[in-house]
Amino acid sequence: MPFQRPADYTPAVAAPPQPAERAFWFVFRGTELLIAAPEPRVPHCNLPKELGMMPLRTQYLGVWGGEHCYSAEVAPEAQAPQGWSWQGLRSLFSVLDDGAFALAGNALQIMDWDRAHQYCGACGAATTARTNERSRECLRCGRVVYPRLAPAVMALVRRGREILLARSPRFPQGMYSALAGFVEPGETIEQCLEREVLEEVGIRVRDARYFASQPWPFPHSLMIAFHAEHESGELRVDGVEIEDAKWFQLCNLPKLPARISIARRLIDAAVAEAR
């Protein structure tokens, strides 16, 4: 599953006292990852400066397959060394090794959080990274900040041998997907599911069944996917988040999301169940 940590990975916060002779480095320029060409791989070296790159900041990630792992961020104007290139993470799905791809997603989230919390949001003073946990502490007021995740619920609504798919104005032309929305303060994920479906397409659902979850590092979401059954109501799109929604026969589906997404796995599972 994309972005799922490999079984041989042990996350950690405190880097070893002595730098390893070689380690995996997930080097980012913004959201672009440094990848070797033509055979895609991340740098496996002592430090990024071996490649002529000076990181703005680094974070220790843990141990993968017996090797230490780090993330690093370089300046926006940094040029890729010869034989390397900057690639968007989405484009590397099924291109990069599965374990490296999953850890790159983890590294991107940690790097984005670390960059955004160099200064305290309460008093403006500089923060420092703690070594006993993944957090940053304000040196002036003592406020501690942790990496934040935004939980989002996805619902694939079923009606007999039909499934409800919708499209956002942001989607590529012709593509439809399952409904989704972010959990609001004070509500359960089940309440979020019911509210989002009602708000976006005007129907009520029942019998929500958990399917799976997926970290989604664009930039810091956790997608929680469900199957649900149509209970009542006719389709009435909100015209803002959703521009069109239709019931589709499982044997005649439109253009679907890429296999990198849990939405595609959710839809494929529904199709497989109906066979």
Q: Write the pLDDT tens digit of every residue in 113-168.
A: 999 999 999 999 999 999 899 999 999 999 999 999 999 999 999 999 999 999 99
Q: What is the pTM of this model?
A: 0.87
User: pLDDT value at position 215?
Assistant: 92
Q: Which letter, b or e, does each residue of 27-58 get, where b requires 16 or more Cβ atoms within 10 Å of its Cβ?
A: bbbeebbbbeeeebebbeeebbeebebebeeb
Class of residue 157 by CB neighbours under 10 A (exposed 0-12, middle 13-18, buried 19+): buried
181 lies in the same domain as 226: yes
Residue 1 pLDDT greater than 70, yes or no: no
User: pLDDT value at position 211?
Assistant: 97
User: Per-residue confidence at 63, pLDDT binned at 50, 70, 90?
Assistant: very high
Portion of the chain with pLDDT greater than 70, in percent:
100
155 lies in the same domain as 211: yes
Nearest Cα neighbor of 216 from 126, 154, 127, 134 is: 154
Scan for tokens 């060394």, then name that residue: 81
At 188 the three-state DSSP class reads: coil
181 lies in the same domain as 111: no
In the chain, how many domains are there? 2
Residue 35 falls inside a structural domain? yes
Boundaries of domain holding 264: 150-274
CATH number at residue 53: 3.90.79.10
164 lies in the same domain as 262: yes
Say how far apart CA 258 and CA 55 lie, in whole Å: 32
pLDDT in tens, 4-29: 888 999 999 999 988 888 999 999 99
User: Per-residue confidence at 51, pLDDT binned at 50, 70, 90?
Assistant: confident
User: pLDDT value at position 48?
Assistant: 85
Say how far apart CA 89 and CA 137 lie, in whole Å: 30
Residue 76 pLDDT greater than 90, yes or no: yes
Say how far apart CA 70 and CA 63 lie, in whole Å: 9
